[in-house]
């Protein structure tokens, strides 16, 4: 399973009023409570590819990859976190919130979803 802190992303609204630091991915999937209980993890290479696209600012490509991955792995919480980060980068804060909430619903013990949701507010 995919794990590791990748970094924080700083998001600013066009007016500069809202600055948000979002966790692109956090520790927790490989070891703790989620491991072994969830047969629907997206493969590591899929997550790394999407993460790289987001970090490189390739939003169109990242969105296309996320769409394909979510079709194949609709219960993967990390994909919803990535989608939330992408939405926040583009100033779509309500959509980002919805994605982070979906990640929380899918994996209540997964801290990255809560961190991003809290930072979004």
pLDDT digits (tens, 9 = 90+) for 50-99: 999 999 999 999 999 999 999 999 999 999 999 999 999 999 999 999 99
Phi, psi angles (nearest 5°) of residue 88: -65, -40
Would the CA dihedral through 33, 39, 45, 48 be positive or negative? negative
pLDDT digits (tens, 9 = 90+) for 62-72: 999 999 999 99
pLDDT for residue 56 = 94
pLDDT digits (tens, 9 = 90+) for 17-32: 455 566 665 333 433 3
CB distance 73 to 106 below 8 Å: no
Helix axes 93-106, 77-89, angle to 10 degrees: 170
* Domain coordinates in residue numbering, the chain: 8-120
Q: Is 98 helix (H, G, I), strand (E, B) or coil?
A: helix
Virtual CA dihedral for 26, 32, 35, 40, nearest 10 degrees?
Answer: -40
Q: Would you identify the CATH topology of the domain 8-120?
A: 1.25.40
């Amino acid at each position: 399973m995919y794990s590791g802190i990748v970094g924080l992303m700083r998001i600013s609204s066009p007016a500069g009023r809202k600055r948000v630091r979002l966790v692109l991915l956090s520790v927790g999937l490989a070891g703790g409570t989620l491991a072994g209980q969830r047969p629907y993890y997206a493969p590591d290479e899929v997550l790394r590819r999407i993460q790289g696209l987001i970090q490189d600012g390739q939003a169109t490509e990242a969105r296309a990859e996320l769409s394909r991955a979510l079709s194949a792995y609709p219960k993967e919480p990390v994909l919803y976190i990535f989608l939330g980060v992408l939405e926040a980068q583009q100033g779509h804060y309500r959509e980002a919130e919805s994605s982070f909430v979906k990640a929380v619903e899918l994996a209540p013990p997964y801290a990255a979803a809560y961190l991003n949701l809290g930072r979004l507010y």
